[in-house]
Amino acid sequence: MDKIIILGAGISGLGAGYSLRRKGIPAILLEKDSTYGGLCGNFEIDGFRFDRFVHFSFSNNKKVNELFSLSSPDIIRHIPNPYNIYNGKWIKHPAQNNLYPLSEEEKRRIVADFRNRPQISDINNISNYEEWLRLQYGNYFAEHFPMAYTRKYWMCEARDLEIKWIGSRLYQPSIEEVVLGCQSTDTPVVYYAKEMRYPQKGGFKTFMKALVKDLDIRYQSEVVGIFPLRKTVRTSASEIYQYDRLISSLPLPEILKMIKDVPTEVKNAGHQLRYTCGYQVSIGLKTKNIPPYLWWYIYDEDILPARVYSPSLKSPDNVPEGCSSLQLEIYCEQDKYSKEELLEASVGKLIVLGFIQKEDILFVDVRFEKYANVIFDQNIYESRKKVRDYLSSIGVETIGRFGEWDYLWSDQSLLNGINIK
């Protein structure tokens, strides 16, 4: 029987291992960490549990939902209630439908711009994300909301991004919806997911329990070398694994570093693949008095976090009795902030705004992730194809968000692994 090696025990790697096991095909998963989950995993501090960035399940896929229910029969079902912070004001999400808290002057300008948007008959004629935003929402809203958020989340200007990734992520209201949202807070929920599901116990990682059963996962096995001609991989501990088939969920740029004699044009394409890094600033609080929203987006550019979520609102199992928690997501293109800079422009800002009290903070934990999101700039598709075609030609199959190099949600990453042939 063929020897199959899977690199990474994140959700896509686990999906691939699970799928092969169901077919009676064994595989060895090599994972650099001491547990499974990858970015869908979690960590604990003094009885507080934090996911590695915000995670919910809102999949409509029957297979995904069956697996998650098998892993966690007790599921908390949330109706999405995200909010936004803009100039220190709370605004219901999506902001384009809920402008009531803004000044009359701002509302007037946004509505006038929305009415006078230029029209375009063919979306294929739109060259970049900034142009798409201006066409959808008018200039004022585009400049003060999504274009500002782009700089915080994607770490670039909207004009640098293409638009195929958008899908259903940004709601496109009618003029009637915009006007209603200016006049009243009683607006319908139009979030792209109607229900957000989360395990009652154990954090999002619990959803993966059924995948892990009977898998051969070798933890603390960081692969540092791939030798396609010999069909072997080498770990940092100098362990050698032979393979007949190699499946990788690792980021494409990291895979290229592990292979010798990569053609120059492929190396150059790999350098063109842009991504954001991310900090997780996790706060444990000795009070339940926090904003009542599962997560919120922050447009204000003097506040570093792009998004904040509450693990304790996701499930009370994530915190000790009588406590609460928040996690702040800060994006960047490299590990460039000191801890003091991070805290002053994140936790400090929330204290100034009155969202939390300094005396209620039990601890603040800061962690850095090298890979957070793929940046969809104008070069992504050509560069991605060149890298993945090369890897395929030397027998390296790639899966998952950073193996496909795509904007995959957790359920999509799982299916990407499960659907491996």
Which pLDDT tens digit goes with each residue over 143-198? 999 999 999 999 999 999 999 888 767 788 899 999 999 999 999 888 888 899 99
What three-state secondary structure class fits 5? Answer: strand
Give yes or no for residue 293 having a pLDDT over 70: yes
Q: 355-389 pLDDT, tens per residue?
A: 999 999 999 999 999 999 999 999 999 999 999 99
In the numeric block, the tokens 């070798």 are attached to: 218
Give the per-residue pLDDT at 32.
98
Spatial CA neighbour of 27 closest among 39, 13, 10: 13
Residue 211 is classified by DSSP as H
CATH 3.50.50.60 for the 4-40+60-76+200-272+378-418 domain, yes or no: yes
Percent of the chain with pLDDT over 90: 90
Distance CA 415, CA 410 (A): 9
Positions of E strands within 80-205: 83-86, 89-92, 196-199
Give the per-residue pLDDT at 118.
79
Contact 29, 217 (CB under 8 A): yes
Q: 327-338 pLDDT, tens per residue?
A: 999 999 888 888
| CA contacts within 13 A on the Cβ side of 351 | 13
Q: 265-274 pLDDT, tens per residue?
A: 999 999 999 9
Give yes or no for residue 37 having a pLDDT over 80: yes
Contacts 24+ apart (CB under 8 A), 342-346: 342/279, 342/281, 342/304, 342/366, 343/281, 345/302, 345/303, 345/304, 346/281, 346/303, 346/304, 346/305
Give the per-residue pLDDT at 188.
87
112: number of Cβ within 10 Å: 12
- Domains of the chain: which residue ranges? 4-40+60-76+200-272+378-418, 94-183, 275-374
Q: Is the pTM of this model over 0.85?
A: yes
In the numeric block, the tokens 């300094």 are attached to: 358
Write the CATH number of the domain with boundaries 275-374.
3.90.660.20
Question: What torsion, rounded to 10 degrees, do the Cα atoms 25, 26, 30, 33 define?
Answer: 100
Give the per-residue pLDDT at 122.
64
